[in-house]
Amino acid sequence: MSETKKFVYMNRKAPYGTVYALESLEVVLIGAAFEQEVQLVFVDDGVYQLTKNQSTDGIGMKNFSKTYSALGDYDVNQIYIDEQSLKDRGLTMDDLQELTYEDEDDDWAEKSSMKLVNREQLAELIGNADVLLNF
Amino acid sequence: MSTLHTVNKSPFERSSLDTCLSVVSNDSTVLLIEDGVAGALQNTTASSSITDAMGNGVKFAVLGEDLGARGLSADRVMDGISVVDYAGFVQLAADHDNVQSWL
Amino acid sequence: MPLEVNGKSYETDEEGYLANLNDWNEDVAAALAAADDAELTENHWEVINFLREYYEEYQIAPAVRVLTKAIGKKLGKDKGNSKYLYELFPYGPAKQACKYAGLPKPTGCV
């Protein structure tokens, strides 16, 4: 029962146009309380969730992009970005916000949570998951 | 008859933009809104089909509020696509005879 | 049931949380606490203000575990533990302190 499982969240939708991105983020935050191993994957339009400088004043919706920077506090620090998805959309890692965590085992040094992956590595992430959650 | 075509789906996820571009005429405007704004950026896999349509005289616009919400700045938008606000959206609707929404 | 403070009426939900984040001020916080027969001390305010800053930055109310860790980092180990926080907020630090801070109930809190 107390065995740790690997939860992989697949995020494939842009924010705001549909509710998937926000729902995923809420499930991740709630799920973090169960202290399982959590990996977030951003692929296809999911990469738009992490863009810098989102400003939602004009569309009258809550800007939940700020919440991604709290993920480190929740020990969610394995965040994978699909390289091909960025490329297809004219984006690079520089367009995304920097997500970090403080490593408890390394005197709370601040480290990046983000890793760019290719499709082979993505296949591996999916293949190694105990639980796959899709949004 | 001129038509304003609005596309609110990402071109990387749905075929809305492709279908729209296959039927759009040169007196029409395509306005990208909501998740559709992703198609307006430079150097994407959707760019060439937009450039082709521009070559045929189709006009393009994108809603600035939806770009901003997604962290996409106006200077990343392809040349030839004009960035409009909500008032501009209304103006476009008024300037055309009809509106086709590719939902 | 609306909350009356200084002659003004504030909308709340069925559990007494402030409906509108921007309605909050210190008098409102004190009134929310008074409705639970609680009085706010300096120690309470530290946590309440911390929560408001956290919300402003991240747009969420932190889970208890996250709150405890972050308080410990900011205000010292003697305050960053659940015993201390539960003494201040016996109905649950995240739940009760968020209420007085005018924030929505923390995500995942039932």
Residue numbers of the domain that contains A48: 6-134
Q: Give CA–CA dist C45/A127, Å, rounded.
A: 48
**Contact assessment for residue C43 and residue C76, using Cβ atoms and an 8 Å cutoff:** no
| Chains C and A lie in contact, requiring 3 or more CB pairs less than 8 Å apart | yes
Among A56, A61, A73, the residue to mutate for chain C (most C Cβ within 10 A)? A73
- For residue A7, the cross-strand partners are A38, A131
Q: Touching check for C104 and chain A: CB below 8 Å?
A: no
What backbone torsions phi and psi does residue C54 show, to the nearest 5 degrees? -65, -45
Q: Touching check for C110 and chain A: CB below 8 Å?
A: no
Question: Same domain, yes or no, for C58 and C14?
Answer: no
Identify the sign of the CA torsion C76, A35, A12, C107.
Answer: negative
For residue C9, what is the domain's CATH number? 3.30.1420.10
CA-based angle A42:A43:A45, to the nearest 5? 100
Question: Same domain, yes or no, for C26 and C63?
Answer: no
Q: Is residue A41 part of a domain?
A: yes
Question: Same domain, yes or no, for C49 and C91?
Answer: yes
ipTM: 0.88
For residue A114, what is the domain's CATH number? 3.40.1260.10
**Contact assessment for residue A50 and residue A97, using Cβ atoms and an 8 Å cutoff:** yes
Residues of chain A with Cβ-Cβ distance to C60 below 8 Å are 29, 67, 70
Residues of chain C with Cβ-Cβ distance to A30 below 8 Å are 107-108
Q: Are C108 and A33 inside 8 Å of each other by CB?
A: yes
What whole-number percentage of chain B has pLDDT above 90?
99
Question: Same domain, yes or no, for C21 and C48?
Answer: no
Our count of domains for chain A comes to 1
Contacts of B8 by beta carbon, 8 Å cutoff, 6+ apart: A17, B16, B33, B34, B35, B36, B101, B102, B103
Q: Is residue C71 part of a domain?
A: yes
Question: Same domain, yes or no, for C56 and C96?
Answer: yes
Q: Is residue C23 part of a domain?
A: yes
State chain B's mean pLDDT as an integer. Answer: 97
Question: Same domain, yes or no, for C55 and C25?
Answer: no
- Distance of residue C4 Cα from the nearest chain A Cα, in angstroms: 28
Q: Touching check for A98 and chain B: CB below 8 Å?
A: no
Residue predicted with more confidence, C86 or A3:
C86
* pLDDT the model gives residue A104: 84
Question: Same domain, yes or no, for C24 and C55?
Answer: no
A62: pLDDT confidence band, cut at 50, 70 and 90? Answer: very high
Residues of chain B with Cβ-Cβ distance to A45 below 8 Å are 10, 12-13, 35, 38
Q: Is residue C107 part of a domain?
A: no
For residue C96, what is the domain's CATH number? 1.10.10.370
What's the whole-number mean pLDDT along residues A55-63? 96
* pLDDT the model gives residue A108: 86
What would the pLDDT profile of B3-48 be if each residue is shown by its tens digit? 999 999 999 999 999 999 999 999 999 999 999 999 999 999 999 9
C93: pLDDT confidence band, cut at 50, 70 and 90? Answer: confident
CB nearest to B35's CB, from A45, A61, A63: A45
The token pair that represents A125 in the structure block: 């992430």
Q: How many CB pairs under 8 A join A and B?
A: 73
Q: Is residue A1 part of a domain?
A: no
Q: Touching check for A36 and chain C: CB below 8 Å?
A: no
Residues of chain C with Cβ-Cβ distance to A64 below 8 Å are 59
Q: Is residue A62 part of a domain?
A: yes
The token pair that represents B86 in the structure block: 């909500």
* pLDDT the model gives residue A1: 53
Nearest CA in chain A to C71: A73
Question: Same domain, yes or no, for C81 and C49?
Answer: yes
What's the whole-number mean pLDDT along residues A84-107? 95
Q: What is the CATH number of domain B3-102?
A: 3.40.1260.10
C110: pLDDT confidence band, cut at 50, 70 and 90? Answer: very low
The pTM assigned to this predicted structure is 0.90
Question: Same domain, yes or no, for C61 and C19?
Answer: no
CB nearest to A29's CB, from C69, C70, C107: C107
Our count of domains for chain C comes to 2
* pLDDT the model gives residue C107: 66
Q: Is residue C93 part of a domain?
A: yes
* pLDDT the model gives residue C109: 53
Longest dimension (CA), chain C: 41
Residue numbers of the domain that contains C48: 42-100
What would the pLDDT profile of C31-87 be if each residue is shown by its tens digit? 999 988 999 999 999 999 999 999 999 999 998 889 999 999 889 889 999 899 999
Query: Can you list the positions of beta strands (E) in chain C?
Result: 3-5, 8-10
